[in-house]
Amino acid sequence: MTSETVEVARIVLRLPPFWKSNVRLWIAQCDHAFTFSGISSDDTKYSALVANLDAETLSYVSDIVLSPPNSDKYHTLSQRLITQFSDLETQKIKKLLTDLQLGDEKPSHLLRKMKELSNGQLQDDFLQSLWLQRIPPHIQTVLSASSEPLDKLAIIADKVSEIVGASSTICAATTVPPPFQSSSCSAQPTMDSLARQIQELSLQVAELARERNSSRH
């Protein structure tokens, strides 16, 4: 390849945007781009790769960029990127599987965090299973009657959570200390009311699921 041809190849070459969630596949795509453009020079491939990285990504490989090896620059940089971001994704998945809990957040907020951590690497069915394990049993009971997509299940879960929270607040606000406790809020009626609301919501969800299924046939 002449110097003029190399210059043309540099102009034509367009590497795809860096893909943190699957660096190995991104490197493979870059390799094909180099081959298609007729670029085989290690220095050229290395420089093209560096030029295509954003500031955050460069910070992970700054030692190589500031002091590149004498040979195999492209291979060294590409392998570091694969190793570095594979480790980061592993840490995110580990956090998703073991550390993330509902706490005081809405179920939909928990689901959003789980999706952010999974970064599209987990199927919805598996993500739904993990999410259900982290929400209260009474919400799981309501959702078990539904075949809605995961995002809609999160909205239903938020509604059930609001019902539970409202009932608890009412009871706490009307309760007075002994010896006047006999005229205060009774826990049993509150729980009965809550159970009825959850049952009604479960029936509504089941009815929506039936309508959804019948419309498909």
Mean pLDDT across the chain, nearest whole number?
78
For residues 156 and 216, the answer to whether their CB atoms sit within 8 Å is: no
Q: What is the pLDDT of residues 132-177, one digit of tens each?
A: 988 988 888 888 877 888 999 999 899 888 887 654 544 444 444 4
DSSP letter, residue 216: T
pLDDT band for position 59 (50/70/90)? very high
**Distance (Å) of CA 21 to CA 30, 118, 119:** 15, 9, 7
pLDDT per position as a tens digit, 88-118: 777 777 777 777 788 888 999 999 988 887 7
Which is more confidently placed, 214 or 185? 214
* Share above pLDDT 70 across residues of the chain, in percent, rounded to a whole number: 66
> Which residue reads 């073991």 in tokens?
98
Cα separations in angstroms, 142 against 2, 18, 153, 165 = 70, 42, 10, 16
Res. 186 pLDDT band, cuts 50 70 90: very low
pLDDT at 206: 64
Residues 136, 131: Cα–Cα separation, whole Å: 10
Tokens of 111: 């689901």
| pTM confidence score | 0.46
**Which of 44, 42, 31, 32 lies closest to 5 in space, CA to CA?**
44
pLDDT of residue 182: 42
Q: Can you give the pLDDT at residue 184?
A: 43
- CA distance linking residue 144 with residue 153, whole number of Å: 10
Count CB atoms within 10 A of the CB of residue 133: 8
For residue 99, the 8-state DSSP code is T
